[in-house]
Homo-oligomer: A and B are copies of this chain.
Amino acid sequence: MDRRRLYLILRPESTGTAARIFRVLHHVMAALGIALMLIVTVEPLEQAYGAGLAGGFYVVAAFFLLEYVLRLIAAPEAPGGQHRGEHQTRLAWMFSLGGLFDLAAVMPGVIALYYGPDGTLFGFIWAFKYVRYSPGLASLGRVISHARHALLSVLLGFCIVLLSAASLAYLLERHAVHPGDPGAFKSIPAALWWGIVTMTTTGYGDVVPQTFAGRALSGFVMVGGILIFALWTGILVNGYAEELRRRDFLRTWELVAKVPFFHNIGAALIAEVARLLRPRDYPEGTIIMRRGEAGDCMYFIADGEVEVRLQSGSIYLGSGQFFGERALVTGEPRNATVVAAHTCTLLVLDIVDFHELLARQPELARIIREEAHRRLGDDVPRPVPALEADAPIS
């Protein structure tokens, strides 16, 4: 097996059969490893099936060792480095976040070899193996990472309030009797335990202030804790909103990039088109355009489905397809009535923007003129072969 094929099998985004089989195996192994690790710590089960459990554990560990070696072999196939077209070195991969986690996933087996069954508990590291395959988690990680300065500031504020609260609680409560835990407020480090349990509103109840002043302080600490963590929520809400805006732009961009109409044009133009599109929602049953009207815009379907009513019958267009460009190019009236089959989101390109685009992009104008000539024989507004190949109308 050559190195390139190995790389493609290991890459999370690959869609080939070998890659799919590898992913299923990988996920099953991680789940199995975690299950074994959980069971090994339950004494009766461990005593009954100890040998089998240990065997399974080493199989999983061996799989992840193998995966590490394979990823190391395939590493130079990944893009990387300072410049475009360069490739990642093996060393760079070993010290990347993914490489270090993959190395950590080899550790439980090594530790178990040295320390016996006790070492198996580090199998929880295998849970992190799923992170690479969850784009949503990566997106949330980006939210936290972008907001890390603000989140850490909140944490600093939390620590300052926590320390102050614990010191005051020690002052107020150290002479009171605490039935649950006599040493609860006998030192400030001990009072910190009460403080953190109270500020996070966890409230185990093993340590409860007994004096009036101590309880009043507790009330302030609870309310203060809620205030501090509400700030945390405020930071993450706004961070997630920013992430959504970023993702929406990329999604529009990708959608435009997929439309054959704009094929072979280059990313810069696609970015410009993406900027000109305005998303608009249509409730089910809305008549989007009527046969015989003058055309003043064209539409891309971002979400949902439309029914195109031609004289020869109806056809349905789904997400990723477009219509209405013909009237803009020819100046003739619409040749079909289009109705929203379900509530749908369309990206609308106005005629002004459409022609401004052509005026500024002579290369695009030539392509459109050719496209228009090719379509003038069509009755159907838009057969999109390229798209239909990998995303059939659902």
Judge if A56 is at the interface, Cβ distance under 8 Å.
no
* Proximity bits, A199-235, B CB within 8 Å = 1, else 0: 0111111101000000100110011011101111111
B287→A267 contact, CB < 8 A: yes
CA distance A127 to B229 in the complex (A): 19
Instruction: Count contacts on A: residues with CB < 8 A to the other chain.
Output: 110
Judge if A140 is at the interface, Cβ distance under 8 Å.
yes
B229→A240 contact, CB < 8 A: no
B202→A222 contact, CB < 8 A: yes
A122→B167 contact, CB < 8 A: yes
Known: A219-B196, A222-B202, A314-B83. A124 touches B268 (CB 8 A): no
Chain B residue nearest in CB terms to A148: B136
Among B154, B163, B235, B288, point to the contact of A127 (Cβ < 8 A): B163
Chain B residue nearest in CB terms to A281: B249
Q: Pick from A15-23, A36-44, A87-95 the stretch touching chain B.
A: A36-44
Q: Closest CB-CB distance, A285 to chain B, in whole Å?
A: 6
B160→A130 contact, CB < 8 A: yes
Q: Which residues of B contact A294 (CB under 8 A)?
A: 360
B37→A167 contact, CB < 8 A: yes
Judge if A280 is at the interface, Cβ distance under 8 Å.
yes
A200→B223 contact, CB < 8 A: yes
Q: Which residues of B contact A203 (CB under 8 A)?
A: 197, 201-205
B156→A150 contact, CB < 8 A: no
Judge if A112 is at the interface, Cβ distance under 8 Å.
no
Among B127, B156, B201, B246, point to the contact of A134 (Cβ < 8 A): B156
For the complex formed by this chain, how many copies does it contain in all? 4
Judge if A14 is at the interface, Cβ distance under 8 Å.
no
Known: A136-B149, A206-B205, A275-B280. A268 touches B289 (CB 8 A): yes
Q: Which residues of B contact A137 (CB under 8 A)?
A: 153, 156-157
Among B189, B238, B289, point to the contact of A42 (Cβ < 8 A): B189
Judge if A171 is at the interface, Cβ distance under 8 Å.
yes
Q: Which residues of B contact A234 (CB under 8 A)?
A: 143, 233, 236-237, 239-241
Please report which residues of chain A, range 13-71, place their CB below 8 angstroms from some CB of chain B when the two chains form the complex.
34, 37-38, 41-43
Among B143, B188, B286, B296, point to the contact of A267 (Cβ < 8 A): B286
Judge if A96 is at the interface, Cβ distance under 8 Å.
no
Judge if A170 is at the interface, Cβ distance under 8 Å.
yes
Chain B residue nearest in CB terms to A290: B268
Q: List 5 A-B contacts (CB under 8 A).
A: A41-B189, A83-B307, A140-B153, A226-B229, A230-B232
10 further A-B contacts with Cβ under 8 Å, apart from A137-B156, A206-B208, A271-B282, are: A43-B186, A83-B314, A84-B341, A136-B150, A136-B152, A143-B234, A201-B201, A205-B205, A205-B206, A231-B240
Shortest beta-carbon contacts, A-B, top 9:
A136-B153, A202-B203, A268-B287, A234-B240, A204-B205, A205-B205, A124-B167, A200-B222, A234-B236
